Structure 1
Amino acid sequence: MTMTTMTTTGARRSLDATLLSRRGAVYLTAPAPLPMTSSPDSLAGITLLEADLLERGFLLSNGLRQILADSTDTQLAATGRALLADIDTALGADRDHTPLFRSFPASTPTDTLALYVDRVLSVLLQAPEQPCVLCGSNATVHAVAPCAHLVCTSCFDGADLSACPICQRQIDADDPFLLPAHHRPAAGARRALPSRLRILTHGGDLADRTADATAELTVLLSRTGALSPQDTDDLAILLDAAGDRTDLRWLPETIPGRETKARVLAWLLDDPEHHPSVLPAVTARLTTATDVLRLAAVRSGGDAGLVTPTRFTAIPRPLRRALLEALDRLDVTQVAEDMHRYTQAWKHLAERLHPFEYRTRYPQAALAVAALRETVLTDGLLSRSLKATARRVPAASTNRPKVAFALWSAQVETALAEADVPRVLPLLAQRPGELLRRLDHVLRTAGDDHAPRVLDALEQAAPRVAPAVILSALGEIRTRTRKGTKRVFFPKGGNAKAHLAADERAPLPDAVVDRAVSILTGEILSRAARLTPVDTAVIDAGLNGVIAPFAERTASRALVTLPRGSELPLPDGRTLRLFLHWMESADSGTTDLDLSAAMFNDSWEHVGTCDYTRLRFAGSAAIHSGDLQSAPAPQGANEYVDLDLDQLAAAGIRYLVATVFSYNNVPFDQLAEAFAGFMVRDEDGNTGAVFDPRQVEQRFDLTGQARASLPLLIDVQGRTMRWLDIVQGFTGTHHAVHRHANHLADLGEALIGLFTSGARVGLGELATWQAAARARNVVVRHLDGSTTAYQRHQGESAADFAVRIGTPLTDRHVDLATTDVNLAYLLRGDLPLADGSEAYALHPAGLDARQVRLLGASDLVSALVPE
């Protein structure tokens, strides 16, 4: 788990906040004090700080507590204020969280229709200086500011409402209608600590902070896939803290993540004064034409993923020459192929690079651009130069009036369309990643006659493919022995949009699938075996519900980094409180976001909703806090939905989909801020603060061009929560659950089918494979606290050992309390680990990043790099 300390206003966070989120470490800005006896005032300050941290779900380690206790009062106060501010920002506790009905849930009306009728009658019939049309009272009707609606203080309770009861938009804080809020009883003693509880440790002084920033930067630079938005933000901060443009010894020779590479190289070029010293390092790492395009896009403030168009900025002449030189030394056929993939972007970039001006110095770069632009060849100097260059390139042709290349992609598509497997396999062998991405298609095309040749090619290609591609291919192919009904696609884009389509593919033969799975699993085990061997590894069985990360580029910035599709158990007998906060910007105008819950039965039939159209469902099974319809700065607006799972189950609800709709179709990224999440509450919902930071279990940003977010799905009767983290691009306006209920049902059913089918490799599976390949002893911790131990037998292969882990075929008992654990894959970091060990923990709890190498879910994937 990475506790991400996000800034709700979009401002950049500090390095201290970044390391707090990634390592759970607190750094002193002054030299560590000499040991001394703590004064009573210091101890009192520590006690207050600990109490404030506990109210936010954090604890101080013994070491950090002692360091702070020995600090001066000034140091303690400064450290405490900064620490609490960073945590409040991460939780969203630094914002006002007043709902429409301030005594929610007790004061939420039971009859939503009656409330609506009263509002409509007041708008249509109420006149100034006239008795109230609802109750007939005199001298109780007044206009509220700024909307000027006539409100009766007898019919509408100004002590409970936080906005105009007629239009439900925010009103002036000093309007006489708003009375002091009803007293809300203090929270009881039954508030349990959150599952995400984290013990903060002492990170050291400023030198230690720099060293830790370097370590975290190294981790991000080693990731093979695209970074999540939060990791991308952290990369920029860590580069400024640990990167050095004058001494590049920290810069790896190879940065496996293409988008990460583009951001790092663009950062190196950010200061023109350093161009002479950094340009050789930059161009040496440009190994494809797409690398050049990504670099230019990031440098222009665009998208490293090349999903959205970029308006390229001017490129200085020395940099222009360096980029053209980098293109010119590459295989021109491959350059032409890469340019063809991003035709429009390259045409725009070529206008900035002026390749034809350098046609004699960089002839191959000019030739590739000429093919891209379909330049007509004449008898001019440029054409003669291009023809001379083309004669030296076997794949180039100038027989027609234009330069043309025999493109690899066109040859592959033609061969597949003609079902010519013998011709397509050598082509795909040139790009093994493409073979794995198209494996299902090629196997269906091959049929029984050519399937063995495809599998032989797969065996040769697998060792050269990125780990994420192998895991994706494995998940997909192992489900292909049965006929599917629907397919779910997550197209590359700025948001995680899920698209559904009927599955019209015929199943593959069992023998073919079995061999493909064996090849891919064997490759994973082979790569894991090359990692550092350990004696004892521990795996939490609860990780079986967690999905190995995919499509992280579109993951939300969230308090708990949970891979999309993961399922976790929910505690019994507790209430879930969904929350939403947003604030308008000058660009967005008046906005109305709606937090809603759509409820379905076992057959995915829409049973009911809890939203602005129905504030209560089944009595108090689901209760809405009221529909605020504006969110002016600086207060913003808030909505909540309380869910009593026992009552929902009794009402026949099986599935519940939480949604956030933009009612008036304003994209989330036009708002000054927008975030949502959920709390797990112990006490009666009528007591305690409406927003309790201690009980926040998840908080995530609403971003991008989307108008609808589907963060999570709850299996009410199964008592589990599945993290969806997807958006939907609905058209039109007046969005609400009842308008999209059928689509939500189709989507929810398809997503559950996808994530339970095995089409996505689980983190528990990945942990088992890695532990089986690296450890002599593997201990599985079960949810009930019991353990089972497995010892790798003499001569037992890693594959056979992996199959045996988790089965009843156990070996000798292992006492974890007295055993040095060197490798751990945990739900919670509540296990003592040996110094220098490695650990993944969804919730790090008490794991100290100075003693244990903390791994993210992405690190488990990136560790399986090709040899």
Structure 2
Amino acid sequence: MSNTEVIGRTTTARPRALATVLLSRRGAVYLPTPAVVPDPAGDSGAALLEADLVDRGYLLAPPLRAALAALDARAMGAVGRALLHDIDSALGADRPHVPLLRDFPDSTPHDTYAHYVDRVLTVLFQRPEQPCVLCGTVDSVVPVSPCAHLVCGSCFDGADFSACPVCERRIDPSDPFLRPRRPRRQLFRRVAPPERLRLLSYGGDFTARDADAARELDTLLARTGALSPQDTDDLEALLAARTRDDLDRLPATVPGRETKARLVAWLLADPTAVPQALPVAAGLIDTATDVLRVLAVRSGGDAGLVEIPRFAAVPRPLRRALLSVLDTLDPAQAAQDMRRYRQAWIHAAERLHPFEHANRFPRAALAFAALRGTRLGDDALSATLRTAAETAAHIDVTGPTAVAHSWSGQVEAALAARDLAGALTLLEQRPGELVRRLDHLLRLTGEKDENGSRSAVRALERVVPRVAPAVLLSALGAVRTRDREQVARVFFPKGAAAKTHVADDNRPALPVPLVRTVVDVLTAELLRRAGQAAPVDVAVVDAALDGLVAPFTERTASRALVTLPRGSELAVPDGRTLRLFLHWMESPTSGTTDLDLSAAMFDADWRHVGECAYTSLRYAGEAAVHSGDLQDAPPPLGASEFVDLDLELLGAAGVRYVVAVVYSYNNVPFGDLAEAFAGLMVRDQPGNLGPVFDPRSVEQRFDLTGSNRACVPLLIDVQTRTMRWLDVVKGVTGTHHAVWRHADALATLAHRLTDLFASGARVGLGELAVWQAAARAATVVLRHTDGSRSVYRRRDGEDVTGFAARIGSPDIDAPIGAGVEDDGPSAGPSLAYLLRGDLELPDGSEVFALHPLSQDAARVRLLAAADLVTALAPR
């Protein structure tokens, strides 16, 4: 069932159920109180449910299985149906997946052009009650409903086609042309391999559920950066399930600005609770932009202020509270913040009426006057503003209007004049801005300006303790590659979608000693922060995490089954075939829509060598095969498309890179559809053995949303057998989109993103894991991809920097191949950073596992990738 309601042109999301949130975040299931007298059929019911779950790649932990068996039949049925529905929704198995060619891939035409010509000839020359123009068969031509195309049952197999063979649109399921499909061949029943099964844990009763929900809420509120759309959905669901009676449990500060706005908007959403919630909400706000974010969220808009809605009416008590907060701020600073969103603030003033309350909140009124350029005269308001300006620096009221001197303008002027000292003095007032402009400042020093370099480094040393971790990580990645010239720069501009901009990089390289010094400063600060967490005896780190990238620009990440940071590279799991899949369904607002799943092929030099798409249903025979182009997706069936990729055959055909793409052929935004998602399966069975959509083999599933018309989710390197998660959108205009038309642009995009992420310009998740393990543990065990292990122990007098630098080097402290149990206390490691959660850990351990597998949330604390960044927040 869709989690949205479409009203007119507005799509309103309903909060997810609490059980769904905790299942996805913790892999935990919560059950009602069991019956006093256990149901004798409980064991059988639990076994049947477990069998269904194994078919989806999940296992029941023994405590959960026992708790399920103790439920009565009615409760067991309700829990089982809800659990299977949530899992099917996460995997994409809650929808029927019927491709155009039901015997795909075996029945996919080998000659796409001949198939197209047959369809055209049928449209042009076929006549009712006449022999087929293609084969000459008599009495085989029938019209199909509702398109009325004349179709020959001998030329087009009604047991294979699921739609009209001519227009490739869905037809009446009862149409005589459609015959029962042939059963897909199956050699034997298989379960998912053990390394893919995820353990479902027993979370306890509903009281325990509420306690775990509170902990998850605290985790999200502690995040330092913008939340991903998936985390935002979870935050809203966790807040919706919470009462406003225990506001004392809320944190005094919320570091994430957008998260804070959503929390404050929730506090003020219930009119009956406003008297108690208002002081708490006001205490959380500390900048003018915070107020604007709250107004936007209250009005149904975006907390990131990418799209600012028309503001809703503000009740008088809230109006006074927001003005009182603005009144505590420096008017010049508030006016500068307001200038960034000038038009939005002018509209906000219509709701807040700052001049009406000027006597009570004069500094707030002064900030609005400076923003609007209010003319000053002899009236009472002007007198109030002049009085307020006496204690407000950088606001001039001596002229005909109030004027705020712009801090950013002063910085830009200093940089333009190459006044490094002046720029540093200003930028130290805003540490985050100094670090964001670090590259510009270092270029300003020049290669021979040692005094300038030293002053820039000293300023950096003074401000880094106050900078958000995401900003430090971004600066570290960018600076450490600046000792060599780069061909291109890749930008990820702030917006509602993950767009990229590629430009030539004309910047000269920075001196190697300067780069090394700055990298040392940033790394030392990150290691210092990592050491602020509780120490542990043993930590385990998987070397396979080196391919993962620390999260960045999460606010535009796709809602996905596996939360994989953008740019991450993973080995393709063993399997004969990779199967890309796409499903969508039309809504009343979208009309007829045609999404197209395509794969663009490139050689080692990024030359376009072909594609597998609706224009070319096969590439190199069996190397890439398309399931056929469905051109509409009416409910309830919708439409599904698939592309099978055989990496061995693709490599033999000279393909090095495969770029997966989804286009909206007729330019309908993904967000207008009732639903749209795509993903990747790893097929263990060749050809059409097994179901066309097998939930056990789903490795990734992600939503297609927003105003985007083209999505580039991933890149496959055929030679190295790796998959890189790109998760970016591509700007397109017009209609009739086809992958071959965009081949050059796709090559540039994929090539430059690959270069960016492979260059080290983004800090890796493996690096974060090593830093945190080195800062907290006395012994670090590094698990290699070949199954061997290297053990590193902190030596006498060895500082954290030296220890971290040694991890991964040949300078080990125990023979390679030693196990964890040989090196730590009997309790085993209590801190682990794993690719797959296949390690037995003691209760209470902290674990990051990209694929949790056997990790039980009832026993260990599961960490997300964003939590590794949050752990580096300044304290």
Q: Give the TM-score of the pair, scaled to structure 1.
A: 0.97
Say which SS state the counterpart of residue 623 (structure 1) adopts. strand
Q: How far off its partner does 1:52 sit?
A: 0.6
- Kindly indicate whether residue 860 of structure 2 is the aligned counterpart of residue 852 of structure 1: yes
Amino acid aligned to 1:510? V
Q: How far off its partner does 1:407 sit?
A: 1.2
Work out which of the residue numbers 12, 15, 31 in structure 2 matches 1:28: 31
Instruction: Look up the match of 1:13.
Output: 16
Taking the aligned partners of 1:156 and 1:126, their CA distance within structure 2 comes to 14
Say which SS state the counterpart of residue 513 (structure 1) adopts. helix
Say which SS state the counterpart of residue 462 (structure 1) adopts. helix
Decide whether aligned partners of structure 1 residues 260 and 567 sit closer, same or farther in structure 2, where only a CA change above 3 A counts.
same
Say which SS state the counterpart of residue 758 (structure 1) adopts. coil
What per-residue deviation string (whole Å, max 9, x for no partner) do you get for residues 561-593 of structure 1? 000000000134521000000011111111000
Instruction: Look up the match of 1:320.
Output: 319
Decide whether aligned partners of structure 1 residues 208 and 572 sit closer, same or farther in structure 2, where only a CA change above 3 A counts.
closer
User: Would the aligned equivalents of 1:25 and 1:201 in 2 still touch at CA under 8 Å?
Assistant: yes
Say which SS state the counterpart of residue 384 (structure 1) adopts. helix
Decide whether aligned partners of structure 1 residues 295 and 200 sit closer, same or farther in structure 2, where only a CA change above 3 A counts.
same
Instruction: Look up the match of 1:815.
Output: 819
Instruction: Look up the match of 2:180.
Output: 180
Say which SS state the counterpart of residue 186 (structure 2) adopts. coil
What per-residue deviation string (whole Å, max 9, x for no partner) do you get for residues 411-451 of structure 1? 00111111110110010000010011000011101223211
Q: How far off its partner does 1:309 sit?
A: 2.2
Q: How far off its partner does 1:748 sit?
A: 0.8
What per-residue deviation string (whole Å, max 9, x for no partner) do you get for residues 7-26 of structure 1? 48755431111111111111
User: Would the aligned equivalents of 1:829 and 1:843 in 2 still touch at CA under 8 Å?
Assistant: yes
User: Would the aligned equivalents of 2:16 and 2:233 in 1 still touch at CA under 8 Å?
Assistant: no
- Kindly indicate whether residue 805 of structure 2 is the aligned counterpart of residue 803 of structure 1: yes
> Identity over the aligned pairs, expressed in percent?
62
Q: Give the TM-score of the pair, scaled to structure 2.
A: 0.96
Taking the aligned partners of 2:487 and 2:819, their CA distance within structure 1 comes to 47
What per-residue deviation string (whole Å, max 9, x for no partner) do you get for residues 147-197 of structure 1? 111111121111100011111011111111111101211253566437552
Greater shift in the superposed pair: 193-202 or 292-301: 193-202
Greater shift in the superposed pair: 185-194 or 575-584: 185-194
Amino acid aligned to 1:152? C
What per-residue deviation string (whole Å, max 9, x for no partner) do you get for residues 348-374 of structure 1? 111111111111111111111111112
Taking the aligned partners of 2:777 and 2:418, their CA distance within structure 1 comes to 45
Instruction: Look up the match of 2:837.
Output: 829
- Kindly indicate whether residue 637 of structure 2 is the aligned counterpart of residue 629 of structure 1: no
Decide whether aligned partners of structure 1 residues 8 and 714 sit closer, same or farther in structure 2, where only a CA change above 3 A counts.
farther
Taking the aligned partners of 1:392 and 1:432, their CA distance within structure 2 comes to 25
Work out which of the residue numbers 841, 849, 854 in structure 2 matches 1:841: 849
Taking the aligned partners of 2:443 and 2:152, their CA distance within structure 1 comes to 71
Taking the aligned partners of 1:276 and 1:45, their CA distance within structure 2 comes to 50
User: Would the aligned equivalents of 1:396 and 1:405 in 2 still touch at CA under 8 Å?
Assistant: yes
Q: How far off its partner does 1:792 sit?
A: 0.3
Q: How far off its partner does 1:488 sit?
A: 0.6
CA-based RMSD: 1.5
Where do 1:92-491 residues align within 5 Å?
92-186=92-186, 188-189=188-189, 192-193=192-193, 196-241=196-241, 243-447=242-446, 448-449=448-449, 450-491=452-493
Instruction: Look up the match of 1:753.
Output: 755
Say which SS state the counterpart of residue 607 (structure 1) adopts. strand
Taking the aligned partners of 2:332 and 2:195, their CA distance within structure 1 comes to 54
Say which SS state the counterpart of residue 677 (structure 1) adopts. strand
Taking the aligned partners of 1:129 and 1:780, their CA distance within structure 2 comes to 74
Q: How far off its partner does 1:388 sit?
A: 2.9
Say which SS state the counterpart of residue 820 (structure 2) adopts. coil
Where do 1:423-822 residues align within 5 Å?
423-447=422-446, 448-449=448-449, 450-812=452-814, 815-817=819-821, 820-822=828-830
Amino acid aligned to 2:16? R
Taking the aligned partners of 1:105 and 1:837, their CA distance within structure 2 comes to 46
Say which SS state the counterpart of residue 601 (structure 2) adopts. strand
Taking the aligned partners of 2:419 and 2:328, their CA distance within structure 1 comes to 34
Say which SS state the counterpart of residue 661 (structure 1) adopts. strand
Greater shift in the superposed pair: 567-576 or 363-372: 567-576
User: Would the aligned equivalents of 1:151 and 1:165 in 2 still touch at CA under 8 Å?
Assistant: yes
Taking the aligned partners of 1:847 and 1:208, their CA distance within structure 2 comes to 19
The number of aligned residues is 859
Taking the aligned partners of 1:330 and 1:113, their CA distance within structure 2 comes to 68
User: Would the aligned equivalents of 1:479 and 1:759 in 2 still touch at CA under 8 Å?
Assistant: yes
Taking the aligned partners of 1:83 and 1:586, their CA distance within structure 2 comes to 30
Amino acid aligned to 1:858? A
Amino acid aligned to 1:172? D
Q: How far off its partner does 1:385 sit?
A: 2.6
Gaps of 5+ in 1: none
User: Would the aligned equivalents of 2:658 and 2:716 in 1 still touch at CA under 8 Å?
Assistant: yes
Taking the aligned partners of 2:563 and 2:2, their CA distance within structure 1 comes to 13
Taking the aligned partners of 2:751 and 2:820, their CA distance within structure 1 comes to 40
User: Would the aligned equivalents of 2:108 and 2:617 in 1 still touch at CA under 8 Å?
Assistant: yes
Taking the aligned partners of 2:713 and 2:836, their CA distance within structure 1 comes to 22
User: Would the aligned equivalents of 1:6 and 1:13 in 2 still touch at CA under 8 Å?
Assistant: no
Q: How far off its partner does 1:76 sit?
A: 2.0
Say which SS state the counterpart of residue 211 (structure 2) adopts. helix
Decide whether aligned partners of structure 1 residues 460 and 651 sit closer, same or farther in structure 2, where only a CA change above 3 A counts.
same
What per-residue deviation string (whole Å, max 9, x for no partner) do you get for residues 35-61 of structure 1? 96x73x333222221111011000011
Amino acid aligned to 1:786? S
Taking the aligned partners of 2:779 and 2:632, their CA distance within structure 1 comes to 58
Taking the aligned partners of 1:298 and 1:638, their CA distance within structure 2 comes to 35
Taking the aligned partners of 1:319 and 1:8, their CA distance within structure 2 comes to 30
Amino acid aligned to 1:236? E
Taking the aligned partners of 1:35 and 1:175, their CA distance within structure 2 comes to 53
User: Would the aligned equivalents of 2:93 and 2:695 in 1 still touch at CA under 8 Å?
Assistant: yes
Q: How far off its partner does 1:406 sit?
A: 1.2
What per-residue deviation string (whole Å, max 9, x for no partner) do you get for residues 295-349 of structure 1? 1110110010011122101111111111111101111111011101111111111
Amino acid aligned to 2:831? L
User: Would the aligned equivalents of 1:495 and 1:704 in 2 still touch at CA under 8 Å?
Assistant: yes
Q: How far off its partner does 1:664 sit?
A: 0.6
What per-residue deviation string (whole Å, max 9, x for no partner) do you get for residues 362-420 of structure 1? 11111111111122223333333323322332311123322111111110011111111
Say which SS state the counterpart of residue 74 (structure 2) adopts. helix
User: Would the aligned equivalents of 1:194 and 1:694 in 2 still touch at CA under 8 Å?
Assistant: no
Say which SS state the counterpart of residue 357 (structure 1) adopts. helix
Taking the aligned partners of 2:36 and 2:752, their CA distance within structure 1 comes to 61
Greater shift in the superposed pair: 136-145 or 187-196: 187-196
Gaps of 5+ in 2: 6-12
Say which SS state the counterpart of residue 172 (structure 1) adopts. coil
Greater shift in the superposed pair: 447-456 or 283-292: 447-456
Greater shift in the superposed pair: 829-838 or 456-465: 829-838
